[in-house]
Amino acid sequence: MIEVRRLGPQIGAEINGVDVRALDDATYSAIYRAWLDYNVLAVRGQNLQIGEFLEYSQRFGLVEPHPSKSTRHPDCPEVTLLGTNKFGPDGKLDMAIYKRGAEGWHTDGSYNEKPFKATQLYALAIPSHGGDTLFASTYAAYNALPERLKQRLQNLKGAYVYGGRGKRTSLLNEEDRNRKPVFHPLIRTHAETGRKVLYFDPNKILYIDGLEEAESDALIAELKGYMIQPDAEYHHKWRKGDIVIWDNRCSYHKAAGDYPPEEDRIHWRVSISERAAAA
């Protein structure tokens, strides 16, 4: 039986001593259960080829190419390359690549009609210091809401697009920059655990549907104050060979964006969606 070690008080755990290339169904089921329990799961000490990483990722769901076409792996478009080509031909640091994921707390795929179930990263190169990824529980965010706010949010939806109100679309191709917003309830119930979450992404939200602009802006600002609860965070310090998967249905995350830019911080990333239900 695998050993799961808790890393944060409410979120985050690690597993050592397994090879994800050779998991039987029982061991994989234990890994999946630990992931649901801890929201963020690190499997240490892996040595993977890209096809092996993709094959393991597909056990969690349907792997879909990220909308940022320019950062897809040239040989495997389902995989995104993070941290490569940071410097332009003129030697200038491309901040959109260096700071990717560090623009603030968010959840991946809120701009999709069906948001990503999970995101998984595999660490290829790690800087000498900095470069952590920070996580927080959306269960805790919901639990921290006062009752009057829970009631107010119950039937409200947020409108989301990739670039949000800041129109941060530089990593998208031109034809992908003007998609219509999608709408998601601000209070959602996790499909597998049955627990309620505050589903909220301030980087991708345009407005709260049905509210006047000033009221929407004020509520967005108020919700930001509940997102991150101090006893419900986990900061992952990367090691080469780490695989980390997080559940976008019940966690927020952001990159620290603080590592030496002349050093490498390179990951493979996959976006994982729910598989379609069998007919």
Identify the residue with better confidence: 166 or 59: 59
pLDDT score of 64 more than 60: yes
pLDDT at 100: 82
pLDDT tens-digit readout, 246-266:
999 999 999 999 999 999 999
Mean pLDDT computed over 45-56: 97
Across the range 184-198, mean pLDDT stands at: 97
Q: Say which range, 47-61, 92-106, 259-273, has the weakest mean pLDDT.
A: 92-106
pLDDT of 275 reads 87
Give the integer Cα–Cα distance in Å for 74 and 94: 20
**CATH value of 4-145+227-273 in 3.40.50.720, 1.10.340.30, 3.60.130.10, 3.30.9.10:** 3.60.130.10
Q: Which of 106-115, 119-128, 212-221 has the lowest mean pLDDT?
A: 106-115
Model pLDDT, residue 101: 80
Decide: residue 132, CB within 10 A, 0-12 exposed, 13-18 middle, 19+ buried.
middle
Share of the chain above pLDDT 70, in %: 93
Report helix, strand or coil for 61. Answer: coil
Token couple for 247: 């559940």
Q: Which residue has the higher pLDDT, 49 or 103?
A: 49
The burial of 72, by beta-carbon neighbours within 10 Å (0-12 exposed, 13-18 middle, 19 or more buried), is given as middle
| Euclidean distance between CA atoms 118 and 256, whole angstroms | 20
pTM here? Answer: 0.92
Residue 150 to residues 95, 185, 236, 241, 243: CA-CA distances in angstroms? 37, 12, 30, 41, 35
d(CA 182, CA 161): 7
**Mean residue pLDDT across the chain:** 91
Amino acid at 65: P
Q: What is the pLDDT of residue 167?
A: 56
What separation in angstroms does the CA of 226 have from each of 10, 29, 38, 152, 206?
Answer: 16, 33, 20, 15, 19
pLDDT for 173 beyond 50: no
Taking only the tens place, the pLDDT of each residue in 128-158 is 999 999 999 999 999 999 999 999 999 999 9
The amino acid that residue 60 corresponds to is F
Q: Which of 42-51, 102-111, 137-146 has the lowest mean pLDDT?
A: 102-111
* pLDDT at residue 176 greater than cutoff 80: no
| Nearest Cα residue to 232 out of 138, 153, 155 | 138
Hey, how many other C-beta atoms are within 10 angstroms of the C-beta on 67?
Answer: 20
